[in-house]
């Protein structure tokens, strides 16, 4: 049986929809409420590698914290952007599903089916 790690925010409708979609599949789900248990820099780097995207592509750029922390500054390094996500996990796009050595962002929720 496939195990899916889901970085989940229960207050987010897309995250809830993704969880419901995964529950319909024959998979075991390991839910990580990332706002309560923030991922480490190493976790985020691993997710970025699996998604083959830059840190900024995994960030919620419309969040107030993004603007307040001046994270739109193009001079910031990947390490600085990852540190911002570790320190302010609300900035991380959600939900993120990981299975079979691959990751997918559940926007739309059906995106996660590709990694099962």
What is the residue extent of each domain of the chain? 1-34+94-116, 39-92
CATH number, domain 39-92, options 1.10.3720.10, 3.40.30.10, 3.90.226.10, 2.160.20.10? 3.40.30.10
Phi, psi for residue 77 in degrees, rounded to 5: -80, 165
CA-CA distance, 26 to 42, in Å (whole number)? 29
* Beta pairing, strands 27-33 & 102-105: unpaired
CA-CA distance, 15 to 108, in Å (whole number)? 10
Helix residue spans in the chain (DSSP H)? 13-23, 41-51, 64-68, 78-87
Residues across the chain: 116
pTM: 0.95
pLDDT of residue 26: 87
Options 1, 8, 12, 95, the catalytic residue? 12
**12 is a catalytic site residue:** yes
Examine the pLDDT at 71 and tell me if it is beyond 90.
Answer: yes
Contact of 39 with 86, CB cutoff 8 Å: yes
pLDDT of residue 89: 98
Q: Which residue has the higher pLDDT, 113 or 26?
A: 113
């Amino acid at each position: 049986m496939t195990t899916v790690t889901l970085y989940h925010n229960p207050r987010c409708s897309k995250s809830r929809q993704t969880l419901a979609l995964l529950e319909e599949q024959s998979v075991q789900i390991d839910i990580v409420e990332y706002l309560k248990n923030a991922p480490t820099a190493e976790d985020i780097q691993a997710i970025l590698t699996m998604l083959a995207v830059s840190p900024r592509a995994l960030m919620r750029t419309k969040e107030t914290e993004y603007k307040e922390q001046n994270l739109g500054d193009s001079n910031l390094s990947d390490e600085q952007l990852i540190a911002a996500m570790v320190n302010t996990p609300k900035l991380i796009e959600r939900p993120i599903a990981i299975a079979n050595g691959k990751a997918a962002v559940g926007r739309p929720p059906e995106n996660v089916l590709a990694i099962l």
